[in-house]
Chain A
Amino acid sequence: MARILYIEDIQDNITLVERIVTSRGHELISANNAEKGLEMAFDLHPDLILLDLGLPDADGQTLSVWLRNDPTFESVPIIVLTAWPEEVARHTVEAYNLDGYLCKPFTLAQLVQIIDTALNKKL
């Protein structure tokens, strides 16, 4: 079982992802802003971080800098889940040294696959 942190400000999206993640036997913890997400990442040591780019206090790109620059999260996969255009998501993943992206709307199968791939890579 893996612990997955989802940083996302829209509760409906968290609920949906939680259903999928828990049905696969993982634990989902969530934060609705960047500051809380950062705090939870440090306190709860997730195995994988799912990150929305549009957050109310600092956007996901800035948050990913905070996370990636800390040795604690060097090897923790970070996957972007976003409604932003695919081109932006792709550039963000490359430039900010992240591990993958899914643009909304995405299918459940796509989400399961990207989570499994990221967790397997980590293991």
Chain B
Amino acid sequence: MMTIELIPAEKFTLQELTDLYNQTRVDYLVPMPMNANRLGDYIHDFDIDLARSCVARTADGEVLGLCMLGVRQDQAWITRLGVLPAARRRGVGLALMDCMLENAKSVGAVATQLEVIKDNLPAYNLFLGKRFTETGEYLVMRRAPHPSSGPLHGNVDWLDADQALEIQRSYPNHLTWINAPESMRNARDVEGLRLKLPDGSAGWLVYRNTKYTLRSTLSHLIIHTEQGDPNEVGTQLLLNIHTHYPHHDTYAENIHIEDAHLPAFQTLGYFENFLRIEMIRSSNI
């Protein structure tokens, strides 16, 4: 029987955590490795508490896996769970999950949420076993930069970060952790636009505009129709943003599979990368 030690992730360097995370994901369904800079941004933007995140290792100091915990007021979020391929089926994932749930409880979280890629059955079953229940399925979509076609209608107001964050507060539906107002506030690159069409239809779009060395990327799109047909309003919002930013690659993450704006996304050339399932567990269980 292997002894598993759980060490707070704060005891490791960002590079060590990055290397371990990447090693746990080499055979993942959708491999998405990170570098230390990206992991640093992730920790910052999503309120990861490294003191309450864990690295699993043997008594000999051999690392086995890791898991991170985001904490916001009375909510917690489990993320980056990964076990090295050679260490799987030995209870490491279970030990990491137990540690995260215990840490969530210790900070007073009334609920803990997480996301799992659809068809990742080992992880999904682990979470079910820990009494997480599904709350919804979310699409991760991409759009390559290309000229948008279609006439632009209505009046558009472009919003700066403060205005975009303010309008996002009126969003009536549930947002997953990475698109929640706290995540967008933590990011330094939020923008938005508000649209009013001649027939009185109206809506808004909030997003992140991240500048890289050579190109910029639009991501974390949150779209809302205040009045009118979501397909028409959504199409105009997306047409405006892609006309305004014709060379930006776009990554729309965690759009609910029943979002009324999905036809608009498809019209504008978005395609599915993969599906995530959000799950939640009450701390009272």
Which residues in A have their C-beta under 8 angstroms from that of B145? Answer: 65, 69
Cα distance, A57 to B213, chains bound together (Å): 11
B212 touches A58 (CB 8 A): yes
**Any A CB within 8 A of the CB of B95:** no
Cα distance, A54 to B32, chains bound together (Å): 5
| Given A56-B35, A65-B215: A85 in contact with B30 (beta carbons within 8 A) | yes
**Any A CB within 8 A of the CB of B274:** yes
Interface stretch (choices B66-74, B126-134, B159-167, B265-273):
B265-273
**Any A CB within 8 A of the CB of B33:** yes
A95 touches B143 (CB 8 A): yes
Would you list which residues of chain B between 31 and 51 have a CB under 8 Å from chain A? 31-35, 37-38
Would you list which residues of chain B between 16 and 66 have a CB under 8 Å from chain A? 18, 22, 26-35, 37-38
Cα distance, A91 to B217, chains bound together (Å): 19
Would you list which residues of chain B between 224 and 272 have a CB under 8 Å from chain A? 247, 249, 269, 271-272
Cα distance, A82 to B249, chains bound together (Å): 19
A9 touches B271 (CB 8 A): no
**Any A CB within 8 A of the CB of B142:** yes
Closest-by-CB residue of B relative to A95 is B144
Which residues in B have their C-beta under 8 angstroms from that of A88? Answer: 30, 271-274
**Any A CB within 8 A of the CB of B2:** no
| Given A38-B214, A56-B38, A95-B271: A61 in contact with B249 (beta carbons within 8 A) | yes
B148 smallest CB distance to A (angstroms): 14
Task: Give the contact-size bracket for chain A.
Answer: 20 to 34
A10 touches B269 (CB 8 A): no
Cα distance, A96 to B271, chains bound together (Å): 11
Cα distance, A101 to B28, chains bound together (Å): 19
List 19 contacting pairs A-B, 8 Å CB cutoff, sorted by A. A33-B35, A54-B30, A54-B31, A56-B18, A56-B22, A56-B34, A56-B38, A59-B32, A61-B144, A62-B212, A62-B249, A65-B145, A66-B215, A84-B30, A85-B274, A88-B273, A88-B274, A91-B142, A95-B269
Nearest first, the 3 closest Cβ-Cβ pairs linking A and B are A54-B31, A95-B144, A91-B271
Besides A91-B272, A95-B142, 16 new A-B residue pairs in contact (Cβ under 8 A), listed by A number? A9-B33, A10-B26, A35-B213, A38-B214, A53-B31, A54-B31, A54-B33, A56-B18, A58-B212, A61-B142, A62-B215, A83-B30, A84-B273, A85-B29, A88-B30, A95-B144
